[in-house]
C-alpha cells in the first residue's frame, strides 16, 4: 500500500465516523477560474493542501462563496470522500487505490522477468488484471479515475501473451503509479493517460465497447451505401467539382 | 497539394467521434494530411459542439442517469429527432448499433444489464473525451473566431459529461451573432446564394425541397433583410453549409463529405469543392 499523504485527522482507531465538522478545523479555499470555482482545496493545519475538483462531487458548505476565501469552513462531504488515502482499506476509494497499487506491484515484478513465456510472468500479468477489475468495482468515487482503471483492466485482458513482449509494461506501471498518487485525477489528464497507453499499443476496449463498435461499423456501411448512391447521382449529373 | 477550408463533417470524422467508422475516419484524416494547409473556421467547432458531439454526450449522460441501456435508448430516441437532419446520422447510427447488439448480448446471459450499461458508459466517455482533445490537433489552424462562441472545456459533473460554458452549442446568449457579423461583408455573395437556393416551381409528383435548404435560404434572407445587429440568432445554425461556401478564403478548396448539399452553392459562387 502506498505511503499516506498527511492525513487530515489522526483518528484511525475510531469505529464510528463522526461528521467531519466535529473532528477538527479544516481550512478550505475555493480555486477559481474566471468567475467560477473549479474545485476546492482542503488544507490541513500544517498548511498541506489536497485539491478536489468539482467532478469529484465534494461540496463546500453553504457558507462558501464562489470567490476565493481563506476563512475556516466545514466540509459537507464525509471524510472518506474527501480524503480516501486517510482510510486505506476502509472506504471503497481506499480499497480501489489499494487494488491499483497491488496491480502496479505485480506488473513491476513481471517487468523484471525478461521472458514473457515464463509461467511466473503470466501469473503476475493475470494477477494484475484481477487486481484492476476489482479496483474497477470500487472506483466510483471519481469517474476519471474509474475510466483509467477501466482502460488498464481491459488492456491487460486484451493483451495476447504473444503480444505482451512488445507492449510497454513500464508505460502501464507509470500510469498506475500516477493513479495511485493522484486518485482525484481530472478527466483531461485521465484521457491523456489513456491516449498515451493506446500509442504504446495497448487496447483497453471492453467486450461491450467492441460489440458496439462492430454494430456502428455495420450501421455506417449501410449509410455509406446510401451516400454512394447520392454520389453516383451527382456524378451522373456531371456537376461535381 | 492545395489548401483546404474544412467543414464540420470532415472535422467530426477526422477526430473521430464515436459513431464514425474506421474507414470514414481514415479517409478524412488522410485527406487533411495530404493538403499543404488545412484551415477550419470556429463556426465548424460550433457546429461540431452543437451537433454530433452534443448528441453523443446526451446519450452518454442518459446512460449515467437511466437504470438500463434500453431506457437510455428510448429516451434518446424521443429527443434525437429534433436535431438537424445532417447530424441525425450520429443518433441513428448509435440507436441502430445498440438495437442490433443488445438482444443477443442480453440473451447470452454473460453480462448483467448493469454491467453492459457500465462498460458502454465508460467506453463512450473515453471516446468522447479523446475526440474532444483531438479536435484542434487535426487541423493546421482555426480562423474566423466568433465573438458569440465560447470554446470551453469538457468536464465531468455528477458523472455526466459537460462542456462549460455557453450551453449546448457554446453560444453566449448576450452576444451578437458572430457569423452574421462576418457575413455582413459578403452581402453580394449572400444575394447570389439566396437566388441559387430558390426552389424551382415544383411539378406534380416532384419531391419538395429539403427542409435544410429552405431553412438556409430563410437564414440568408434574414441576414439580407436585417443588419447583423438585428439578426435573429436562432437562424445561425440554419446558415450551415452556406457559411463555408461564403467564407472559404481565396485559394482554398472546401473540404466536405457533403458535396451534394454544397455543390449548388459552391457553383453559384465559383468556389471549388473537394471530397475526402
Spatial distance between the Cα atoms of A15 and A38, rounded to a whole number of angstroms: 33
Mean pLDDT, residues A149-169: 81
Binned at pLDDT 50, 70 and 90, residue A223 comes out as low
**Residue A160 grid cell:** 495476447
Mean pLDDT, residues B177-181: 90
Is A55 inside a domain boundary? yes
CA distance B236 to chain A (A): 26
- Tell me what pLDDT residue B82 has: 61
Residue that is last in its domain, among A85, A105, A126? A85
- One domain, residues A172 and A72: no
Q: Are B242 and B219 in contact (CB under 8 A)?
A: yes
Looking at the DSSP assignment, which residues form a beta bridge with residue B164?
Answer: B153
Decide if pLDDT at B68 tops 80: yes
Residue-wise pLDDT tens digits, B102-131: 888 888 988 999 999 999 999 999 999 999
Say which residue, B60 or A214, is predicted with more confidence: B60
The CATH number for A153's domain is 1.20.120
- Tell me what pLDDT residue A117 has: 67
Collapse the DSSP code of A204 into the 3-class scheme (helix H, G, I; strand E, B; otherwise coil) and give the result. coil
- Tell me what pLDDT residue B198 has: 81
CA distance B43 to chain A (A): 23
Q: Which of B103, B118, B119 to mutate to test the interface with A (most CBs of A within 10 A)?
A: B119
Structure letter (DSSP) for residue A206: -
Spatial distance between the Cα atoms of B245 and B270, rounded to a whole number of angstroms: 9
Q: Are B125 and B118 in contact (CB under 8 A)?
A: no
- The reply to whether B67 touches chain A by the CB within 8 Å rule is no
Nearest CA in chain B to A224: B24
Q: Which of A140, A204, A208 to mutate to test the interface with B (most CBs of B within 10 A)?
A: A208
Q: Measuring CA to CA, how many Å separate A218 from each of A214, B17, B23, B100, B178?
A: 6, 16, 12, 10, 39
Instruction: Determine whether the interchain pair B274/A212 forms a contact, defined as Cβ–Cβ distance below 8 Å.
Output: no
Decide if pLDDT at A1 tops 60: no
Mean pLDDT, residues A106-135: 87
Q: Using an 8 Å CB-CB cutoff, list chain B residues near A221.
A: 21
Q: Are B220 and B193 in contact (CB under 8 A)?
A: yes
- One domain, residues A118 and A169: yes
Residue that is last in its domain, among A85, A113, A135? A85
Residue-wise pLDDT tens digits, B234-256: 888 888 899 999 999 999 999 99
- One domain, residues A126 and A174: yes
Residue-wise pLDDT tens digits, A183-207: 888 899 999 999 999 998 899 999 9
Instruction: Determine whether the interchain pair A187/B263 forms a contact, defined as Cβ–Cβ distance below 8 Å.
Output: no
Decide if pLDDT at B166 tops 90: no
- One domain, residues A164 and A108: yes
Q: How many CA atoms lie within 13 A of B158 on its CB side?
A: 6
Looking at the DSSP assignment, which residues form a beta bridge with residue A27?
Answer: A43, A72
Which residue do the cell numbers 429527432 mark? B81
Spatial distance between the Cα atoms of A191 and A208, rounded to a whole number of angstroms: 20
Domain hosting residue A95, numbered range: 88-199
Q: Which of A212, A217, A220, A232 to mutate to test the interface with B (most CBs of B within 10 A)?
A: A212
% of chain A with per-residue pLDDT over 90:
30
Q: Which of B97, B130, B132 shows the shortest C-beta gap to A219?
A: B97
Domain ranges of chain B: 3-274
CA distance A14 to chain B (A): 30
Decide if pLDDT at A74 tops 50: no
- One domain, residues A98 and A181: yes
- The reply to whether B83 touches chain A by the CB within 8 Å rule is no
Decide if pLDDT at A64 tops 80: no
- One domain, residues A71 and A104: no
Q: Using an 8 Å CB-CB cutoff, list chain A residues near B105.
A: 208, 211
Binned at pLDDT 50, 70 and 90, residue A228 comes out as very low
Residue-wise pLDDT tens digits, B220-239: 988 888 877 888 888 888 88
CA distance A114 to chain B (A): 32
- The reply to whether A226 touches chain B by the CB within 8 Å rule is no
Spatial distance between the Cα atoms of B147 and B125, rounded to a whole number of angstroms: 29
Say which residue, B69 or A225, is predicted with more confidence: B69
SS3 sequence, chain B?
A: CCEEEECHHHHHHHCCCCCCCHHHHHHHHHHHHHCCEEEEEHHHHHHHHHCHHHHHHHHHHHHHHCCCHHHHHHHHHHHHCCCCHHHHHHHHHHHHHHHHHHHHHHHHCCCCHHHHHHHHHHHHHHHHHHHHHHCCCCCCEEECCCCCECCCEEEEECCEEEEECCCCCCECCCCCCHHHHHHHHHHHHHHHHHHHCCCCCCCCCCCCCCHHHHHHHHHHHHHHHCCHHHCCHHHHHHHCHHHHHHHCCCCEEEECCCHHHHHHHHHHHCCCEECC
Q: Residue B84 CB: number of other CB atoms within 10 A?
A: 15
Q: Residue A177 CB: number of other CB atoms within 10 A?
A: 15
- One domain, residues A113 and A48: no
Spatial distance between the Cα atoms of A78 and A57, rounded to a whole number of angstroms: 11
Binned at pLDDT 50, 70 and 90, residue B101 comes out as confident
Spatial distance between the Cα atoms of A132 and A101, rounded to a whole number of angstroms: 9
- The reply to whether B114 touches chain A by the CB within 8 Å rule is no
The reported pTM is: 0.79
Q: Which of A66, A149, A191 to mutate to test the interface with B (most CBs of B within 10 A)?
A: A191
Q: Which of B19, B164, B263 shows the shortest C-beta gap to A234?
A: B263
Nearest CA in chain B to A196: B130
Mean pLDDT, residues A158-168: 68
Q: A-B interface: how many C-beta pairs under 8 angstroms?
A: 123
- Residue A164: asked if its preceding bond is cis (omega within 30°), the reply is no
- One domain, residues A107 and A69: no
What's the longest Cα–Cα distance across chain B?
A: 64
- One domain, residues A77 and A123: no
Decide if pLDDT at A144 tops 90: yes
- Tell me what pLDDT residue B152 has: 84
Instruction: Determine whether the interchain pair A54/B155 forms a contact, defined as Cβ–Cβ distance below 8 Å.
Output: yes
Q: Which of B97, B116, B259 shows the shortest C-beta gap to A216?
A: B97
Average pLDDT, rounded, for chain B: 87
Mean pLDDT, residues B197-213: 68
- The reply to whether A162 touches chain B by the CB within 8 Å rule is no
Spatial distance between the Cα atoms of B139 and B141, rounded to a whole number of angstroms: 6
How many domains does chain A contain in total? 2
- The reply to whether B156 touches chain A by the CB within 8 Å rule is yes
Alpha helix (H) residue ranges in A138-201 = 143-158, 169-181, 187-199
Amino acid at each position: 500500500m502506498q505511503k499516506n499523504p498527511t492525513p487530515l485527522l489522526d483518528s484511525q482507531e475510531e469505529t464510528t465516523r463522526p461528521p467531519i465538522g466535529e473532528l477538527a478545523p479544516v481550512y478550505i479555499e475555493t480555486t477559481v477560474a474566471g468567475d467560477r470555482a473549479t474545485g476546492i482545496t482542503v488544507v490541513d493545519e500544517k498548511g498541506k493542501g489536497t485539491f478536489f475538483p468539482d467532478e469529484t462531487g465534494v461540496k463546500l458548505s453553504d457558507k462558501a462563496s464562489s470567490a476565493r476565501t481563506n476563512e475556516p469552513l466545514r466540509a459537507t462531504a464525509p471524510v472518506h470522500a474527501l480524503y480516501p488515502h486517510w482510510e486505506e482499506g476502509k472506504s471503497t476509494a481506499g480499497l480501489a487505490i489499494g487494488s491499483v497499487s497491488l496491480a502496479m506491484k505485480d506488473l513491476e515484478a513481471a517487468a523484471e522477468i525478461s521472458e514473457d513465456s515464463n509461467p511466473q510472468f503470466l501469473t503476475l500479468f493475470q494477477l494484475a488484471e484481477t487486481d484492476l477489475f476489482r479496483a474497477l468495482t470500487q472506483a466510483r468515487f471519481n469517474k476519471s479515475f474509474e475510466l483509467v482503471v477501466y482502460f488498464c483492466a481491459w488492456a491487460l485482458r486484451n493483451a495476447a501473451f504473444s503480444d505482451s513482449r512488445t507492449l510497454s509494461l513500464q508505460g502501464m506501471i507509470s500510469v498506475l503509479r500516477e493513479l495511485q498518487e493522484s486518485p482525484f485525477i481530472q478527466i483531461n489528464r485521465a484521457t491523456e493517460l489513456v491516449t498515451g497507453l493506446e500509442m504504446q499499443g495497448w487496447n483497453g476496449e471492453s467486450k461491450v465497447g467492441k460489440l458496439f463498435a462492430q454494430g456502428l461499423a455495420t450501421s455506417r456501411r449501410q449509410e455509406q451505401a446510401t451516400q454512394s448512391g447520392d454520389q453516383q447521382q451527382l456524378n451522373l449529373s456531371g456537376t461535381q467539382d | 497539394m492545395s489548401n483546404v477550408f474544412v467543414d464540420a463533417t470532415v472535422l467530426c470524422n477526422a477526430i473521430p467521434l464515436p459513431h464514425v467508422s474506421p474507414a470514414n475516419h481514415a479517409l478524412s484524416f488522410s485527406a487533411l494530411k495530404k493538403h499543404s494547409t488545412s484551415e477550419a473556421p470556429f463556426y465548424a467547432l460550433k457546429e461540431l459542439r452543437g451537433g454530433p458531439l452534443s448528441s453523443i454526450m446526451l446519450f452518454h449522460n442518459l446512460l449515467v442517469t437511466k437504470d438500463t441501456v434500453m431506457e437510455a435508448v428510448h429516451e434518446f430516441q424521443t429527443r434525437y429527432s429534433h436535431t438537424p437532419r445532417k447530424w441525425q446520422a450520429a443518433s441513428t447510427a448509435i440507436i441502430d448499433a445498440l438495437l442490433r447488439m443488445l438482444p443477443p448480448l442480453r440473451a447470452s446471459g454473460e453480462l448483467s444489464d448493469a454491467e453492459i450499461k457500465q462498460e458502454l458508459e465508460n467506453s463512450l466517455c473515453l471516446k468522447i473525451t479523446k475526440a474532444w482533445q483531438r479536435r484542434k490537433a487535426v487541423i493546421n489552424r482555426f480562423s474566423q473566431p466568433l465573438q458569440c462562441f465560447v470554446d470551453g472545456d469538457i468536464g465531468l459533473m455528477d458523472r455526466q459529461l459537460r462542456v462549460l460554458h455557453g450551453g449546448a452549442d457554446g453560444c453566449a446568449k448576450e452576444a451578437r451573432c458572430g457569423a452574421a457579423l462576418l457575413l455582413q461583408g459578403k452581402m453580394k455573395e449572400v444575394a447570389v446564394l439566396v437566388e441559387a437556393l430558390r426552389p424551382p416551381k415544383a411539378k406534380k409528383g416532384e419531391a419538395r425541397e429539403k427542409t435544410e435548404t429552405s431553412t438556409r435560404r430563410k437564414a440568408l434572407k434574414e441576414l439580407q433583410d436585417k443588419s447583423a445587429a438585428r439578426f435573429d440568432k436562432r437562424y445561425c445554425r440554419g446558415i450551415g453549409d452556406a457559411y463555408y461556401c461564403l467564407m472559404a478564403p481565396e485559394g482554398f478548396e472546401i473540404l466536405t463529405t457533403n458535396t451534394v448539399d454544397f455543390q449548388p452553392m459552391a457553383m453559384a459562387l465559383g468556389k471549388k469543392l473537394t471530397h475526402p
